[in-house]
């Protein structure tokens, strides 16, 4: 049993915003594996029971879209993980937006810091552990716009052209993580991202699969509202 969580904010006003990239990636998995499913309300989230199939392997998974707003995402993740007696290091993957990655890049890591992301910070606090996998989806960084306004804003048309295929790659990576493990997922997708020029140059993900995230040095947002 695996737990795959996409982070975002509930409500129509937040649809297709940069901060909801995690929601959108999980939506790709739902479209592939449970297109007719009706979400259940469990663990303070919209929950979907699916069987992920990839390369001849399959794994049961629970897909979650927390309805707690971003800053309280940890409540949902921790409740689900404890209910199913999951080990965060082996069984939990969080899909999340990242302003420190170029728009449309993805990067999967086996552990690390929060990178200033309030959703990840709450998950770490509620789990009491930072040793869970996270898949970051690059949304680019604001120029002169306040970061809070930027992440709660919608993608520009040019950005969306880059993000749309990145969401498909993120779903692909989540399938590999669930069925073949985090090391295989990292070796497969991080290397491909470096070839594309999307991930940070010179980072050897295959040999640093449990090193802290490079993004941890990014300034914390300091947002006080739930949405951010």
H or E element at residue 150:
helix 147-151
Cα 102 to Cα 201: distance, rounded to the nearest angstrom: 12
* Alpha-carbon separation of residue 180 from 19, 113, 116, 128 (angstroms): 28, 24, 29, 26
Q: Is 19 an active-site residue?
A: yes
The DSSP secondary-structure symbol of 15 reads T
Length of the chain: 228
Best CA proximity match to 165, nearest among 201, 203, 209, 196:
196
Q: What is the DSSP string of 24-55?
A: HHHHHHHHHH-TTPPPEEETTEEEEEEEEEET
* Alpha-carbon separation of residue 132 from 48, 94, 191 (angstroms): 20, 8, 20
User: What angle do helix axes 157-180 and 182-196 make, rounded to 10 degrees?
Assistant: 150
Using DSSP, state whether 197 is helix, strand or coil: coil
Residues 6+ apart with CB under 8 A from 202: none
Residues with catalytic function: 19
């Amino acid at each position: 049993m695996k737990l795959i969580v996409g982070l975002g904010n509930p409500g129509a006003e937040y649809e297709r915003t940069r901060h909801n990239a995690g929601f959108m990636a999980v939506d790709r998995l739902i479209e592939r594996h449970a297109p007719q499913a009706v979400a259940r309300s469990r663990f303070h989230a919209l929950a979907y029971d699916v069987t992920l199939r990839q390369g001849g392997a399959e794994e049961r998974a629970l897909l979650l879209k927390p309805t707690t707003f971003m800053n309280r995402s940890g409540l949902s993740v921790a409740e689900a993980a404890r209910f199913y007696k999951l080990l965060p290091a082996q069984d939990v993957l969080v899909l999340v937006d990242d302003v420190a990655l170029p728009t449309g890049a993805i990067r999967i890591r086996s552990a690390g810091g929060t990178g200033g992301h309030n959703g990840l910070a709450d998950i770490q606090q509620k789990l009491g552990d930072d040793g869970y996998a996270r898949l970051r989806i690059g949304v680019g960084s604001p120029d002169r716009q306040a970061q809070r306004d930027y992440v709660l804003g919608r993608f520009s048309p040019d950005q969306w052209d880059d993000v749309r295929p990145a969401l498909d790659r993120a779903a692909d990576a989540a399938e590999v993580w669930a069925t073949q493990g985090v090391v295989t997922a990292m070796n497969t997708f991080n290397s491909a991202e470096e070839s594309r020029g999307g991930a940070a140059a010179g980072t050897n993900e295959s040999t640093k699969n449990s090193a802290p995230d490079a993004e941890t040095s990014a300034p914390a947002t300091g947002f006080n509202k739930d949405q951010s």
